[in-house]
Amino acid sequence: MEQMEVDVEMTAKASTSVAPSTSGDGSNKAPNAGTSATTSSSNVMADPSTVPSVTISLHPLVIMNISEHWTRIRAQAGEVCQVYGALIGKQKGRNIEVMNSFELKTDVVGDDVFISVDYYMAKELQYKQVFSDMDFIGWYTTGEYPTEKELAIHKQISEMNECPIMLQLNPLSRNVDQLPLKLYESVIDIVRSEATMLLVPLTYTLATEEAERIGVDHVARMSTNDTGEKSFVAEHLVAQESAIKMLKTRIKIVLKYIQDVEAGKLSANQEILREVYALSHRLPVMQGNAFKEEFYTQCNDVGLISYLGAMTKGCNDMNHFVNKFNVLYDRQGSGRRLRGLYY
């Protein structure tokens, strides 16, 4: 009897251990897929006790660039696609500031993704001409978690930069408590007596400048606008115009009251006259040298901005004209060559 109970217990344990590995129906496929996904993610991650070597300061411009890149590619392709790009910024010691980004061209061969080095070199040269103080510090992609595929791309990026960082944005996340992005750096660890590249999560903080705060605030306000027919700048100017008109009306009333008091049409109210006197002394002095200098400086700045806008528009028109002229010239040249072939 004891031997029979042992055999039954061993058989039950064996059947329990084998059951999850079978995929006889669809109900078992999802757990297996989740298990394989978790295993794939854990295979590229270093030990949780590994301490990161750098701290990250991330600018909102980078997040908006990645989001725009993914949204545009998805709209063009009609399906969810993974995008890739480069991160540029500054590094001082162990502090890395991610300030901007640009897209990277990739070549897909089967399930493997290869970064176009020539395209990267050309883009880096262009950015160096504009942002000479920024360097290539890493790359970005989209997805929920890093896998062997991302690790293979990270190894390619490591040939361009010795210690790149990786930023992964999850655009399909429904979590509203925190930003759906993670940053990683790579370390070399010994796995099964072999040197293996693994990823270590990094902590980050948001660093914003005045222009970025204005842009993010404008985007946030536009995203909550249902119609989007009017600009918030126009609405702000209309509100200011209404306030100025109301102020002008009130000033006319006060001025009319003082004129009637001086003419003897109304009796003088000392309390009202004291408030008018205090209000008039609160106005800025319009005849001072400091005011004139500041006024002329502001006028020059406004004129310069208008002049630069006109020059930019002229350069844009000239560029379009040159492009159209080149297209027309090429068509005429090809027409002459074709006529030469027939005659």
- pLDDT tens column, 103-112: 999 998 888 8
pTM higher than the cut 0.85: no
More confident residue, 121 or 38: 121
Output the pLDDT for position 227.
54
pLDDT digits (tens, 9 = 90+) for 43-101: 888 888 888 889 999 998 899 899 999 999 999 988 888 999 999 999 988 899 999 99
What does pLDDT average to over the chain? 80
Q: Which of 137-141, 203-207, 232-236, 257-261 shows the lowest mean pLDDT across its residues?
A: 232-236
Burial 212-242 (b: 16+ CB within 10 A, else e): beeebeeeeeeeeeeeeeeeeeeeeeeeeee
Output the pLDDT for position 229.
57
More confident residue, 19 or 148: 148
pLDDT digits (tens, 9 = 90+) for 264-317: 898 889 999 998 888 887 766 667 787 788 888 989 988 898 898 889 989 988
User: Kind and range of the H or E element at 135?
Assistant: strand 135-142
Instruction: Say how far apart CA 171 and CA 188 lie, in whole Å.
Output: 29
Q: Which of 16-20, 150-154, 243-247, 310-314 shows the lowest mean pLDDT across its residues?
A: 16-20
pLDDT digits (tens, 9 = 90+) for 9-26: 444 444 444 333 434 444
Average pLDDT of the residues in 152-167: 91
pLDDT digits (tens, 9 = 90+) for 172-198: 888 777 889 999 999 888 778 788 889
Instruction: Say how far apart CA 43 and CA 147 lie, in whole Å.
Output: 8
Contact indicator for 160, 206 with CB cutoff of 8 Å: no
pLDDT at 343 over 60: no
Q: Give the residue among 172, 167, 145, 170 at the shortest CA–CA distance from 59.
A: 167
Percent of the chain residues topping a pLDDT of 90 = 32
pLDDT at 208 over 70: yes
* Structural domains of the chain sorted by starting position, each given as residue range(s) with its CATH number in brackets: 55-211 (3.40.140.10)
Output the pLDDT for position 330.
76
pLDDT at 224 over 90: no
Q: Which residues pair with 168 in a beta bridge?
A: 141, 182
Output the pLDDT for position 29.
41
pLDDT at 225 over 80: no
Contact indicator for 313, 320 with CB cutoff of 8 Å: no
Q: Give the residue among 37, 127, 121 at the shortest CA–CA distance from 88.
A: 127
Output the pLDDT for position 52.
87
The pairs formed by 158-164 with CB atoms below 8 angstroms and a separation of 24 or more are 158/186, 158/197, 160/117, 160/120, 160/136, 161/136, 161/137, 164/136, 164/137, 164/138, 164/139
Instruction: Say how far apart CA 80 and CA 73 lie, in whole Å.
Output: 8
Q: Which residues pair with 102 in a beta bridge?
A: 86
Output the pLDDT for position 195.
82
Output the pLDDT for position 228.
53
Three-class DSSP category at 128? helix
